[in-house]
Structure 1
Amino acid sequence: MGSRPALALLDILRGEGVDRVFGNPGTTELPFLAALSETEDAPEYVLGVHEGAVVSMADGYARGTGRPAFVSLHIAAGLANGLIGLLNARRSRTPLVVTAGQQDRRHLQQDPMLAGDLTGLAAPVVKAAYDIRHAHDLPLALRRAFALAVRPPAGPVFLSLPMDLLAEDTEIEVPARTPAPAQGPAPGLERAALLLGDAARPAIVAGDGVGREDALGALVRTAEACGATVHHQPMSDGLNFPTTHPLYAGMLPPRHDGIRSALAAYDTVLIAGTHAFTPHHYTPGPALPPGLTVVQLDSDPDEIGRNFPADAGLVGALGPSLHRLATLLADRVPEHTAKSRLQRAGERHAVDRDRAEAAARAAYSPAPLAPWAAAHAVAAGLPPGAVVVEEAITVGLLLRRMVRLERPGSYTHTVGGGLGWGIGAAVGRALAEPGRPVVAVLGDGGTLFGLQGLWSAARQAVPVLFVVMGNGAYRTLQDTYEAMGGKGVCPGTDLGQLDFTRAAGFFGVDAVRAESAAHLRELVRGAGHLRGPLLVDVPLRA
């Protein structure tokens, strides 16, 4: 049975599990909006007042639901505003299906107002871009887009939809959805077990693929089976190993020299679901120390051997592969050996954690706060089951060392680098998991990029605690400038002290200023009792 194009679009969205549309509309989206208004069981339209916030909300929603989120943007200008969010989603491997309305095809050759090369604009930051020219191509392209968005490596897929195409009075067939086949365990796990099982000093790098594929429990089994010390990948986007576990040794630094130094203590490493050790600052030399035996496991075959050679390269679903590897290791590594390694690692790591805790507590004071104290106050105040959405740059690095988290999905970041993601992502995450407290830890610079997301937070009445760390500068630039030997004041990096409580009030969000580290801790502790958004302005010492 056929459907009009706009109604066929809604049929496919329902079939793909889409219950919300994140968008900012214009004239070219009116046929789609009309279909939404005519359909009783249509997805809810979540309005954002800037496309950066729209895409960020969809990003957070997709991560919280585990399904592709659907985004509707307006023509070339709206797509251009959303490109930063799409870049973040591509680098963080968040599955999105994104559409933008194109001008009416009947006058495209006349260069009408707002028209543009939409697929050319989107192509560098998405997995694929489709220019839909005929109504009968729309259903097939949409099905293909949803399938491609989740296929490793996951990411955003874009479709350009001409305004008049969606309004056509024609019947088109909607193809049935074909469920994607589940990926199984990787071949070659026996060799991987041999290499890891014979190691005297094994280690594991927990990549973001572990969190994305819900394989955290399987990685814990694998680590415990051989007593391997575990590091998060550099600037990890999520929680891929419990930070409370005795084997956990913290995040690797985002520089090749730092990674090389940290991994020099080991003779064999399992690198699971990690995107090629993407560095931030250049340092000479490779990421891995010489002589290190490398076992690399990923669901994306392009990652194997991408930036470093692997003695064993394995391709398969991370959860099933790691569970199988844990079983093989348990048969190969004596139980007393694995337990002895776990105990020794736990003792070392406990000393490091206690030292960091003591230093942070000693820095507690009235506002303005020391960054260490602010990070500790947030970590110490987190209510049970909380989700941390972090875009705090310098304070975020400290927060990673302080948080004690175990539940999958409880830490969210974007390695994409496009500022302004945090507010929208927190709103989307709260919509996806309404029973979990959401604490967004934001830098003042990033907050300025994404302020419009507060409008959606107020409109949706999401119970999100927005914690804005105000150091009055692009601090990470100033720190890097000094490290590079820069002289004097780095130009263009001073923001001055800003009152974010006033900005929150403009958008209808309640706000308060943290008076001390203890006050901040108590505000965070109350995040689980919020009935709407609350912004906390945290003045930091220079």
Structure 2
Amino acid sequence: MGTSPARALLDILRSEGVDRVFGNPGTTELPFLAALSAAEDPPEYILGIHEGAVVSMADGYARATARPAFVSLHIAAGLANGLIGLLNARRSRTPLVVMAGQQDRRHLQQDPMLSADLITLAHPAVKAAYDIQHAPDLPLALRRAFALSVRPPAGPVLLSVPMDLLAEDTEVDVPPRTPTPSQGPAPGLDRAAHLLAAATRPVIVAGDGVGREGALPALVRVAEACGAPVHHQPMADCLNFPTTHPLYAGMLPPRHDAIRETLTPYDTVLITGAHAFTPHHYTPGPPLPPGLTVVQLDSDPDEIGRNFPADTGLVGALGPSLDLLAGLLGDRVPEHTAKRRVLRASDRHTADREHTESTARAARSTAPLAPWAAAHAVARGLPPDAVVVEEAITVGLLLRCLVRLDRPGSYTHTVGGGLGWGVGAAVGRRLAEPERPVVAVLGDGSALFGLQGLWSAARLSAPVLFVVLGNGAYRTLQDTYTAMGGHGRCPGTDLGPLDFTRAADFFGVDAVRATSADHLHELVALAGELRGPLLVDVPLRG
């Protein structure tokens, strides 16, 4: 039996597990809002006052719930404002289903206000975009969008829906949900086990697919079975290997020359769930040293051999594949060999960590803090089971060296690089996991791009600790400018002194300025006891 287009939309959202809608409405969303108002058990509408914050909240929510989040944007302007968040989501492979309201079809040819070609506008930032022109197509396209958003590589999918279509007095059929079949283990694991077991100096690169697919425990078993040190992929978006483990060797730098140098001591590498190493700054040459045997495992077939050749390429679900691979390696690598490698790596990594800790402890610890001191205070102050949402750019690189985390989902970043993600993502994360403390570590430049998210944090009383590290500049640009041989002051990169406590007060968020590293440590340690949002302004040395 058929139902109205608007009711069909809500029925599908409910069956797809959508319990919240993230949006900022306009006139083209009024039929949708009317349907929400009339529904008996509608999803909660999470309002953002800027589409950048809306998409970022949905991104954080989807990552934590491991299911697609639903986003409602308003026509061309709203979609344009949300494009940074969609680009981030596509690069970070976050599943989102986005409905953008389009102008009424009855006067669309007259170029009404705010109308545009939404499909062309969205195309670079989404996996797919559907232009819905007929009411019966809406339920089918919605089902397709939810399925496509989670299929490797996951990402955002957009539907352009004219406002008059949702208000049509017509009946449409709602197709039942078809569960997406799970990937099984990759074929060819025996060959992979043979190459890794034959290695004398194996190493592993843990990509973000490991964290996204919940495969971290399985990767630990693989690493221990062959005694291989493990590096995070460059600018990793999530925790893909415990930073407390003796085999953890840190993050690969986002430059091909540095990756090549880091991997040169090894003869065989397992690269799992990593998107082509994602370089930031160009350096000549390939990312892998010559003669290195490469075993590549990914759930996305397009990743195999994408940017470097692999001696064997495997396609399958990471968790089941790594579980089987660990068993095969346990049978082929002598236990004493694996243990010897683990002990050797542990000694080396312990020495590296002690050196990093001593560097941080020696840094200036009174306001304005040295970056190392600020990063160290945050790292040692994190409550048990905390989630770090990091968009701190330069200080974030130091923080990665200092955090000691082992639970999956404990560290979140966006490799998309579009600034302003962190505030909203932290709010979405806390909505999804209310039992875990959330600490957002933000640079001042990043925070300025996403300030509107503080309004949602205050409105929702989201107990998030926002730590804003203020160096008064786009520091990463200044550092890169100097490294490239630039002379004098890099123009257009100075922000000057900023008081984020005043910005927080405007949005209704409590705020305090950290006076020392010990003070910052104490504030971070209390993150689990918050009953609403708190912003900590941390002045850094220039």
- The equivalent residue for 1:484 is 484
Give the TM-score of the pair, scaled to structure 1: 1.00
Name the count of aligned residue pairs: 542
- What CA distance in whole angstroms lies between the structure 1 residues aligned with 2:112 and 2:485? 51
Q: Is 1:329 the equivalent of 2:329?
A: yes
One-letter amino acid of the structure 2 residue matched with residue 25 of structure 1: P
- The equivalent residue for 1:285 is 285
- The equivalent residue for 2:21 is 21
Q: Write the deviation string for residues 148-173 of structure 1: whole angstroms up to 9, x where unpaired.
A: 00000000000000000000011111
Q: Is 1:100 the equivalent of 2:100?
A: yes
Q: Is 1:495 the equivalent of 2:508?
A: no
- What CA distance in whole angstroms lies between the structure 2 residues aligned with 1:365 and 1:209? 37
Aligned 1:451-466 pairs, distance under 5 A? 451-466=451-466
- The equivalent residue for 1:114 is 114
Q: Per the alignment, in what secondary structure is the counterpart of residue 100 of structure 1? A: strand
Q: Write the deviation string for residues 345-386 of structure 1: whole angstroms up to 9, x where unpaired.
A: 011100000111111112142110000000000000000000
- What CA distance in whole angstroms lies between the structure 2 residues aligned with 1:239 and 1:364? 29
- What CA distance in whole angstroms lies between the structure 1 residues aligned with 2:278 and 2:362? 35
Q: Say whether the 8 Å CA contact 2:388–2:439 is kept in structure 1.
A: yes
Alpha-carbon shift at residue 108 of structure 1 (Å): 0.6
- The equivalent residue for 1:172 is 172
Aligned 1:69-468 pairs, distance under 5 A? 69-468=69-468
Q: Per the alignment, in what secondary structure is the counterpart of residue 89 of structure 1? A: helix
Q: Say whether the 8 Å CA contact 1:149–1:156 is kept in structure 2.
A: yes
One-letter amino acid of the structure 2 residue matched with residue 263 of structure 1: L
- What CA distance in whole angstroms lies between the structure 2 residues aligned with 1:170 and 1:237? 45
Alpha-carbon shift at residue 79 of structure 1 (Å): 0.2
Q: Say whether the 8 Å CA contact 1:364–1:518 is kept in structure 2.
A: no
- What CA distance in whole angstroms lies between the structure 2 residues aligned with 1:429 and 1:216? 20
One-letter amino acid of the structure 2 residue matched with residue 297 of structure 1: L
Q: Write the deviation string for residues 154-208 of structure 1: whole angstroms up to 9, x where unpaired.
A: 0000000000000001111100000011100000000000000010000000000
- What CA distance in whole angstroms lies between the structure 2 residues aligned with 1:58 and 1:410? 18
- What CA distance in whole angstroms lies between the structure 2 residues aligned with 1:69 and 1:26? 20
Q: Say whether the 8 Å CA contact 2:235–2:415 is kept in structure 1.
A: yes
List structure 1 segments (4+ residues) > 3 angstroms apart after TM superposition: none
Q: Is 1:9 the equivalent of 2:16?
A: no
Alpha-carbon shift at residue 70 of structure 1 (Å): 0.2
Q: Per the alignment, in what secondary structure is the counterpart of residue 55 of structure 2? A: helix
Q: Say whether the 8 Å CA contact 1:94–1:155 is kept in structure 2.
A: yes
Q: Per the alignment, in what secondary structure is the counterpart of residue 157 of structure 1? A: strand
- The equivalent residue for 2:475 is 475
Q: Per the alignment, in what secondary structure is the counterpart of residue 173 of structure 1? A: coil
Q: Write the deviation string for residues 8-35 of structure 1: whole angstroms up to 9, x where unpaired.
A: 0000000000000000000000000000
Q: Write the deviation string for residues 322-360 of structure 1: whole angstroms up to 9, x where unpaired.
A: 000000000000001001100110111000001111111
Alpha-carbon shift at residue 287 of structure 1 (Å): 0.2
Q: Say whether the 8 Å CA contact 2:260–2:286 is kept in structure 1.
A: yes
Alpha-carbon shift at residue 111 of structure 1 (Å): 0.7
- What CA distance in whole angstroms lies between the structure 2 residues aligned with 1:522 and 1:270? 40
Q: Say whether the 8 Å CA contact 1:206–1:231 is kept in structure 2.
A: yes
Q: Say whether the 8 Å CA contact 2:136–2:173 is kept in structure 1.
A: yes
Alpha-carbon shift at residue 218 of structure 1 (Å): 0.4
Q: Write the deviation string for residues 277-312 of structure 1: whole angstroms up to 9, x where unpaired.
A: 110000011000000000000000000000000000
Q: Per the alignment, in what secondary structure is the counterpart of residue 265 of structure 1? A: coil
Q: Say whether the 8 Å CA contact 1:370–1:541 is kept in structure 2.
A: yes
- What CA distance in whole angstroms lies between the structure 1 residues aligned with 2:234 and 2:115? 40
One-letter amino acid of the structure 1 residue matched with residue 456 of structure 2: S
- What CA distance in whole angstroms lies between the structure 1 residues aligned with 2:295 and 2:403? 29
Q: Say whether the 8 Å CA contact 1:367–1:514 is kept in structure 2.
A: yes
Alpha-carbon shift at residue 138 of structure 1 (Å): 0.2
One-letter amino acid of the structure 2 residue matched with residue 259 of structure 1: I
Alpha-carbon shift at residue 2 of structure 1 (Å): 1.4
Alpha-carbon shift at residue 40 of structure 1 (Å): 1.7
Q: Per the alignment, in what secondary structure is the counterpart of residue 138 of structure 1? A: helix
Q: Say whether the 8 Å CA contact 1:68–1:150 is kept in structure 2.
A: yes
Q: Is 1:519 the equivalent of 2:516?
A: no
Q: Write the deviation string for residues 75-112 of structure 1: whole angstroms up to 9, x where unpaired.
A: 00000000000000000000000011100001111111
Q: Say whether the 8 Å CA contact 2:208–2:238 is kept in structure 1.
A: yes
Q: Say whether the 8 Å CA contact 2:28–2:102 is kept in structure 1.
A: yes
Q: Per the alignment, in what secondary structure is the counterpart of residue 136 of structure 2? A: helix
Q: Write the deviation string for residues 475-499 of structure 1: whole angstroms up to 9, x where unpaired.
A: 0000000001101110000000100
Alpha-carbon shift at residue 389 of structure 1 (Å): 0.2
> RMSD of aligned C-alpha atoms?
0.5
Q: Per the alignment, in what secondary structure is the counterpart of residue 164 of structure 1? A: helix
Q: Per the alignment, in what secondary structure is the counterpart of residue 365 of structure 2? A: coil
Q: Say whether the 8 Å CA contact 1:222–1:323 is kept in structure 2.
A: yes
Q: Say whether the 8 Å CA contact 2:365–2:374 is kept in structure 1.
A: no
One-letter amino acid of the structure 2 residue matched with residue 118 of structure 1: L
Q: Write the deviation string for residues 194-226 of structure 1: whole angstroms up to 9, x where unpaired.
A: 000010000000000000000000000000000
- The equivalent residue for 1:64 is 64
Q: Write the deviation string for residues 122-163 of structure 1: whole angstroms up to 9, x where unpaired.
A: 011100000000000000000000000000000000000000
- What CA distance in whole angstroms lies between the structure 2 residues aligned with 1:178 and 1:536? 46
- What CA distance in whole angstroms lies between the structure 2 residues aligned with 1:515 and 1:124? 44
Q: Say whether the 8 Å CA contact 1:364–1:516 is kept in structure 2.
A: no
- What CA distance in whole angstroms lies between the structure 2 residues aligned with 1:472 and 1:111? 44
One-letter amino acid of the structure 2 residue matched with residue 172 of structure 1: V
- What CA distance in whole angstroms lies between the structure 2 residues aligned with 1:480 and 1:364? 23
Q: Say whether the 8 Å CA contact 2:197–2:332 is kept in structure 1.
A: yes
Q: Which segments of 5 or more consecutive residues in structure 2 lack a partner in the other structure? A: none
- What CA distance in whole angstroms lies between the structure 2 residues aligned with 1:375 and 1:3? 55
- What CA distance in whole angstroms lies between the structure 2 residues aligned with 1:347 and 1:187? 36
Give the TM-score of the pair, scaled to structure 2: 1.00
- What CA distance in whole angstroms lies between the structure 2 residues aligned with 1:304 and 1:199? 21
Alpha-carbon shift at residue 249 of structure 1 (Å): 0.3
One-letter amino acid of the structure 1 residue matched with residue 245 of structure 2: H
- What CA distance in whole angstroms lies between the structure 1 residues aligned with 2:40 and 2:356? 55
- What CA distance in whole angstroms lies between the structure 1 residues aligned with 2:533 and 2:265? 45
Q: Which segments of 5 or more consecutive residues in structure 1 lack a partner in the other structure? A: none
Q: Say whether the 8 Å CA contact 1:210–1:240 is kept in structure 2.
A: yes
- What CA distance in whole angstroms lies between the structure 2 residues aligned with 1:79 and 1:211? 29
